[in-house]
């Protein structure tokens, strides 16, 4: 999952390097200097000091209300107090302008602003400081001077516990400081401070650093490196591009519920629970391929509606079906190219995505674009119910597959989704331009093929017309069939916020679950003694109808245990199968499609 700054290009990088060097050598009057003090891990309190350079007398400081995750989280709720003084130590007045903005008066000669903030939210989108580690999404704790957001920023960490080290994609500077060209870059750089383990490797001219903060018994660094080499080689060769020198993978494998990934321009932070890692190691490769491809799609091939980022309120965009969903499509192609999954798994994955979309009643009234606009509701359990919403990850993933097939069909296999992405990379990212949401994707498809995609975008992207799947899949010799299967039903369904615990979204009327008092909004924390995760519904549906499950449930009233008998139900699922007759040509199309290759000159 997973989600967001500005394009950096080789020439600009060189200029930036020179700029940072100047900052390093001269006293940094022009830069905003932050000191983050790690003095109080027990209470999860971080002290922040901001040195503002000389400037206008009245300065405003803004703490973002959101970052990374498309949810307003109002980080200011965790700020304990704010104080300011001038360079001579005279107290300056601090006035609250709104819940996330402060005004400092008398700062013309520079100012020293201090505040304390509570940070204890786990996961790759959060900021957490405890006796074990500090992990920072810096937007969650650093206010920015509104008039200097685009100026250089320097950050240092003080009172770092003994034995802990700092890992971050930020530029290293002398005296343990780190620099960024502007605030957006600063907060696009996660920071891990702990006794992490690390590894690194070169691949195709790029340097990769791997940071793991987890119990050593829970993972194997050599296996992770091996997987990463395959993924980065597959993705950089598919894009024919490597817009960075250094890239960092930052992993957490906590014991207990966790999950999710956060993309950045030069790094990614990923959390997978140790239990899931042990049970389904493929999850790690899948999240990693998704987040790595984001370094192009969304970080550099970036929708106009996300720029400039508005940190003071939500930033609606119609493009998440493409930026997130089609990132899923490509991630699967990368896994095939990397040799980490086979063709069957690729097709099974598409079938499962189609089943998911078709089973949600909301697919008949919420479009992929509307679902993108409504991303800001995703923190809410009611919004995530099948009656209320579809997921732009899910429909976008399918749209990516269909777009790929339509491009191939209209060019007899000579062009593909790969050409669309390379065109968008050349035409937008490398030109430092943002793309105009769905219209930009449509333009890319039409330029790639020389044919109109008006109907496709009107009906399936902006619209909710039922998708005639077989019209797309026949090109690859496939058909979509429906099947009725028996499943176990617990009498309720759950949804999980990114990486969180499953939360009950719907309870069937007159079911055992309803009689047991299970209600929408309850969190399921454990199933038969094991921690529950986002895959709970699948897990329960695969159990034997009639068997009993022990659920641990938490809500506002407390925690309790409930034992339920699973009922039996039927479910309609979709499956991709061979057409009765598959031609040699169709086989060749299928092989090229699944591998993400163009068919040159029509040869298989
Ligand atoms: Zn994502």
Q: 535: CA distance to ligand 1 center in Å?
A: 18
Q: 292: CA distance to ligand 1 center in Å?
A: 9
* Per-residue pLDDT reduced to its tens digit, 152-206: 999 999 999 999 999 999 999 999 999 999 999 999 999 999 999 999 999 999 9
Instruction: Note the pLDDT of residue 200.
Output: 97
Strand, helix or coil at 45? Answer: strand
Does position 272 have pLDDT exceeding 60, yes or no? yes
Report residue 3's pLDDT band, with 50, 70 and 90 as the boundaries.
Answer: very low
Q: 274: CA distance to ligand 1 center in Å?
A: 21
* Per-residue pLDDT reduced to its tens digit, 479-498: 999 999 998 899 998 887 65
Q: 326: CA distance to ligand 1 center in Å?
A: 9
Q: Kindly tell me the sign of the dihedral angle through the C-alpha atoms of 398, 287, 301, 436.
A: positive
Q: 50: CA distance to ligand 1 center in Å?
A: 32
Greatest mean pLDDT among 337-341, 508-512, 550-554: 337-341
CA gap 336, 346 in Å, rounded:
7
Q: 489: CA distance to ligand 1 center in Å?
A: 30
Mean pLDDT, the chain, rounded, equals 92
Assigned token pair, 425: 């990379």
CA gap 214, 251 in Å, rounded:
8
Lowest mean pLDDT among 255-259, 273-277, 580-584: 255-259
Does position 20 have pLDDT exceeding 60, yes or no? no
Instruction: Note the pLDDT of residue 26.
Output: 45
> Mean pLDDT over residues 405-411, rounded?
98
Instruction: Note the pLDDT of residue 601.
Output: 59
Q: 263: CA distance to ligand 1 center in Å?
A: 7
Instruction: Note the pLDDT of residue 500.
Output: 67
Q: 297: CA distance to ligand 1 center in Å?
A: 9
Q: 291: CA distance to ligand 1 center in Å?
A: 6
Report residue 532's pLDDT band, with 50, 70 and 90 as the boundaries.
Answer: confident
Q: 487: CA distance to ligand 1 center in Å?
A: 30
Instruction: Note the pLDDT of residue 23.
Output: 44
Q: 17: CA distance to ligand 1 center in Å?
A: 29
CA gap 406, 383 in Å, rounded:
32
* Per-residue pLDDT reduced to its tens digit, 46-103: 999 999 999 999 999 999 999 988 999 999 999 999 999 999 999 999 999 999 999 9
Instruction: Note the pLDDT of residue 498.
Output: 55
Instruction: Name which of 332, 315, 459 is nearest 393 in CA terms.
Output: 332
Instruction: Name which of 283, 264, 165 is nearest 224 in CA terms.
Output: 283
Q: 603: CA distance to ligand 1 center in Å?
A: 34
Q: 278: CA distance to ligand 1 center in Å?
A: 23
**Burial (Cβ within 10 Å: 0-12, 13-18, ≥19) of residue 387:** exposed
Assigned token pair, 207: 């340097």
Q: 188: CA distance to ligand 1 center in Å?
A: 14
Q: 262: CA distance to ligand 1 center in Å?
A: 7
Q: 290: CA distance to ligand 1 center in Å?
A: 6
* Per-residue pLDDT reduced to its tens digit, 442-471: 999 999 999 999 999 999 999 999 999 999
Instruction: Name which of 11, 89, 107, 100 is nearest 62 in CA terms.
Output: 100
Q: 497: CA distance to ligand 1 center in Å?
A: 14
Instruction: Note the pLDDT of residue 162.
Output: 96
CA gap 570, 177 in Å, rounded:
59
Q: 261: CA distance to ligand 1 center in Å?
A: 7
User: In 10 A of CB 250, how many CB atoms?
Assistant: 27
Does position 591 have pLDDT exceeding 90, yes or no? yes
Q: 80: CA distance to ligand 1 center in Å?
A: 32
Assigned token pair, 586: 């169709």
Q: 5: CA distance to ligand 1 center in Å?
A: 14
* Orientation angle between helical segments 343-359 and 327-337, nearest 10 degrees: 160
CA gap 360, 304 in Å, rounded:
30
CA gap 58, 450 in Å, rounded:
55
């Amino acid at each position: 999952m997973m989600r967001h700054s500005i394009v950096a290009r080789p020439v600009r990088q060189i200029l930036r390097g020179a700029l940072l060097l100047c900052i390093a050598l001269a006293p940094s009057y022009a830069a905003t200097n932050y000191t983050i003090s790690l003095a109080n891990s027990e209470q999860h309190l971080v002290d922040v000091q901001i040195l503002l350079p000389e400037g206008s007398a009245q300065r405003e400081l803004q703490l973002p209300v959101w970052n990374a995750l498309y949810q307003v989280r109002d980080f200011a709720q965790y700020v304990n107090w704010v104080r300011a003084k001038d360079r001579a130590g005279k107290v300056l007045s601090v006035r609250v302008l709104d819940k996330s903005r402060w005004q400092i008066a008398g700062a013309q000669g520079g100012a020293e602003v201090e505040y304390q903030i509570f940070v204890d939210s786990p996961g790759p989108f959060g900021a957490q400081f405890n006796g074990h580690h500090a992990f920072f999404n810096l937007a969650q704790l650093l206010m920015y001077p509104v008039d200097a957001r685009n100026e250089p920023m320097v950050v240092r960490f003080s009172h770092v516990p003994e034995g802990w080290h700092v890992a971050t994609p930020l530029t290293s500077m002398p005296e343990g400081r780190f620099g960024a060209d502007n605030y957006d870059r600063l907060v696009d750089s996660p920071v891990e401070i702990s006794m992490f383990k690390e590894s690194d490797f070169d691949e195709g001219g790029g340097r990769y650093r791997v940071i793991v903060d987890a119990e050593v018994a829970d993972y194997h660094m050599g296996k992770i490196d091996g997987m990463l080499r395959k993924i980065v080689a597959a993705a950089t060769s598919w894009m024919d591009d490597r817009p960075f020198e250094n890239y960092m993978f930052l992993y957490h494998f906590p014991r207990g519920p966790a999950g999710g990934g956060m993309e950045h321009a030069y790094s990614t932070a990923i959390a997978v629970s140790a239990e899931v890692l042990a049970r389904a190691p493929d999850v790690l490769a899948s999240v990693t391929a998704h987040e790595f491809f984001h370094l192009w799609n969304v970080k550099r091939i970036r929708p106009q509606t996300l720029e400039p980022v508005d940190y003071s309120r939500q930033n609606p965009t119609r493009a998440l079906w493409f930026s997130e969903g089609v990132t899923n499509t490509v991630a699967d192609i990368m896994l095939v190219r990397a040799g980490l999954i086979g063709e069957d798994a690729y097709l099974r994955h598409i079938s499962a995505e189609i089943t998911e979309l078709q089973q949600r009643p909301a697919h008949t009234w919420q479009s992929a674009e509307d679902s993108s606009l409504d991303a800001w509701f995703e923190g809410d359990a009611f919004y995530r119910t099948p009656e209320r919403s579809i997921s732009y990850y899910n429909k976008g993933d399918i749209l990516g597959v269909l777009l790929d097939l339509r491009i191939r069909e209209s060019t007899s296999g000579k062009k593909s989704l790969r050409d669309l992405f390379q065109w968008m990379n050349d035409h937008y990212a490398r030109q430092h331009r943002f793309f105009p949401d769905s219209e930009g994707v449509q333009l890319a498809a039409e330029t790639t093929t020389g044919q109109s995609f008006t109907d496709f975008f009107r009906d399936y992207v902006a619209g909710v017309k039922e998708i005639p799947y077989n019209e797309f899949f026949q090109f690859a010799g496939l058909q979509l069939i429906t099947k009725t299967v028996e499943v176990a039903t617990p009498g309720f369904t759950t949804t999980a916020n990114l990486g969180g615990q499953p939360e009950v979204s719907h309870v069937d009327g007159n079911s055992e679950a309803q009689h047991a008092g299970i209600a929408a909004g309850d969190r399921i924390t454990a199933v038969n003694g094991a921690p529950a995760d986002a895959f709970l519904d699948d897990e329960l549906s695969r159990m034997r109808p009639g068997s009993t499950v022990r659920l641990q449930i938490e809500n506002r009233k407390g925690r309790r245990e409930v034992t339920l008998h699973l009922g039996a139900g039927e479910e309609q699922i979709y499956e991709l199968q061979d057409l009765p007759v598959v031609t040699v040509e169709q086989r060749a199309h299928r092989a090229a499609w699944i591998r993400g290759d163009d068919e040159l000159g029509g040869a298989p």
